[in-house]
Amino acid sequence: MSQFFGADFDQLQSQDPEIAAILLSELDRQRKNLQLIASENFTSPAVLTALGSTLSNKYAEGYPGKRYYGGCEEVDKAEVIGIERAKELFGAEHANLQPHSGASANVAVYQAFTKPGDTVLAMSLPHGGHLTHGSKVNFSGKWFNVESYGVRKEDELIDYDELREIAKRVRPKMICSGATAYPRLIDFKIIREICDEVGAIMWVDAAHFIGLVAGKAIPSPVPYADVVSFTTHKVLRGPRGGMILSKAAHAAAIDKAVFPGMQGGPIMSAVAAKAIALKECLDSAYQDYAKQVILNCKALASALEKEGMRAVSGGTDTHLALIDIRSTGINGKVADERCGKSGITLNKNAIPYDPETPAVTSGIRVGTPAVTTQGMSVTEMPIIASLIARAIKDGADDAKAAAIRSEVNALTAKFPVYPR
């Protein structure tokens, strides 16, 4: 049976040893290094099985029961199950599991609620937003008039008074909240009020934190928002992909915007994998996991502060921390490189009001979804913080980087990933 699920690795090795070797060495990299990229995780073997299944062969343009191709009986069942699980998990009125990615989901949101040239208000990218929230190099910034709000300089928290003032001035069609590098909770009640005051659609891009919502570890935007878009592969721990939740009143607009508005055939292996991940999230063990992700991140941020670095906004309420590393005398780009050489995978990241360019930055972003999946707890966070601090300081030296890397390997060996 295994060959039907893409699991016949021996066959791949004899057919295409070059690619087989890459699959193995990537598995090795994921097992041995510390994975601290806040938007990554280790999905379950069950999810990987669906991704590598024959569902990948099926064209299924349209929606369950209304497809443009025959032979969709089986994939229809998977999509219906996934939609029902998403609605149950998030208490949502409508769910669309077809977007190929978070960025694709966001294209659909723009298409459902706006026309090119309309004004949209979103968090500025340098303060933690996302490319699809109006960056000039992205379709959003090219086709829409995107105005931005940001965080206050004093406390690095979203300035809701400023947000309201800008909204009243620019009268946006849609207000987007959600970010990729904002470590704090967002007040969705205030944002709903502002949207109502100016007649804007409330869009939450929950890609980063939706897994924490699924695990009931932080408040949900779903009761407040008209539409919530997200990726399924971050804390949520599903396959790489996107999803959209909305109020029932917007269901037809969202579905039309995804297909035929923005995509052709959905990737049905990914849709089935999303359904599996949603079932996993409905389990109480996932709720424990989501809470542990936050506890670990708080512990990591505070341990990095003890190592002499500064957590932006003074800490975190979520799965990620943004660390201002200027005290080390090393910029984000060099820190990222030195950590990589030492077996620690993280990313350089701009901090609010960063004096450096986005390619250099004064910060790093760290996240705990992956290390928590592999079973690490608050006990390991000071060890990780010390390894990061040493890598930033000494990682230029090959021998010192190798020594740190072997300590990283010893630590990760105690928490094996995909042990089989």
Which residues contact ligand DSN by CB under 6 A? 39, 102, 130, 180
Say which of 184, 234, 298, 338 is annotated catalytic: 234
* Whole-number Å distance between alpha carbons of 93 and 83: 10
Residues with Cβ within 8 Å of 326's Cβ and at least 6 positions away in sequence, in order, are 310, 362
The active-site residue, picked from 43, 114, 180, 231, is 231
Q: Using the 8-state DSSP alphabet, how is residue 144 labeled?
A: S
From the DSSP assignment, how many helices (H) and strands (E) are in the chain? Answer: 16, 15
* Shortest reach from residue 304's CB to ligand DSN, in Å: 19
Q: Which is nearer to ligand DSN, 53 or 316 (CB)?
A: 316
Strand partners, 344: 34
* Min separation Cβ 130 and ligand DSN, Å: 6
Pair 110, 144: CB distance under 8 Å: yes
240 has catalytic annotation: yes
- Minimum distance from CB of 148 to ligand DSN (Å)? 17
Task: Compute the distance between CA of residue 188 and CA of residue 171 in angstroms, rounded to an integer.
Answer: 19
Lookup result for tokens 């897994």: 211
- CA angle centred on 202, ends 198 and 206, rounded to 5°: 150
Q: Which residue is nearest to ligand DSN (CB)?
A: 39
**Could you confirm whether 379 is annotated as catalytic?**
no
Assess whether 54 carries a catalytic annotation: no
Complex with ligand DSN: residue 274 or 365, whichever CB lies closer: 365
Q: How far is the CB of 230 from ligand DSN (least distance, A)?
A: 10
Number of Cβ within a 10 Å radius of residue 285: 9
Q: Which is nearer to ligand DSN, 6 or 352 (CB)?
A: 352
The pair of structure tokens assigned to 403 is: 């020594």
Instruction: Rank residues 121 and 235 by Cβ distance to ligand DSN and give the closer one.
Output: 235
**For residues 312 and 322, is the Cβ–Cβ distance under 8 A?**
yes
Report, in Å, the least distance between residue 134 CB and ligand DSN: 14
Task: Check if 32 is active-site.
Answer: no
Q: Which CB atom, from 53 or from 138, has the smaller least distance to ligand DSN?
A: 138
From the list 161, 219, 224, the residue with the least C-alpha distance to 192 is: 224
Q: Out of 61, 159, 394, 407, which one is annotated catalytic?
A: 61
- Between CA 214 and CA 198 the distance in angstroms is 30
Taking the least distance from each CB to ligand DSN, the nearer of 166 and 179 is 179
Strand, coil or helix: 260: coil
- Is residue 156 among the annotated active site residues? no
Strand partners for 52 = none
Which one of the listed residues 76, 147, 205, 317 is annotated catalytic? 205
Q: Which two tokens stand for residue 107?
A: 């294209």
Under 8 Å between Cβ of 237 and 5: no
CB of 102 to ligand DSN, least distance (A): 5
Q: Is there a contact between 324 and 312 (Cβ–Cβ < 8 Å)?
A: yes
Least Å from the CB of residue 270 to ligand DSN: 17
Of residues 72 and 351, the one with the C-beta less far from ligand DSN: 351
- Decide if 205 is catalytic: yes
66, 68, 78, 110, 252 from 63: Cα distances, Å: 5, 9, 11, 20, 11
Q: How far apart are CA 275 and CA 4, in angstroms?
A: 19
Active site residues: 59, 61, 205, 231, 234, 240
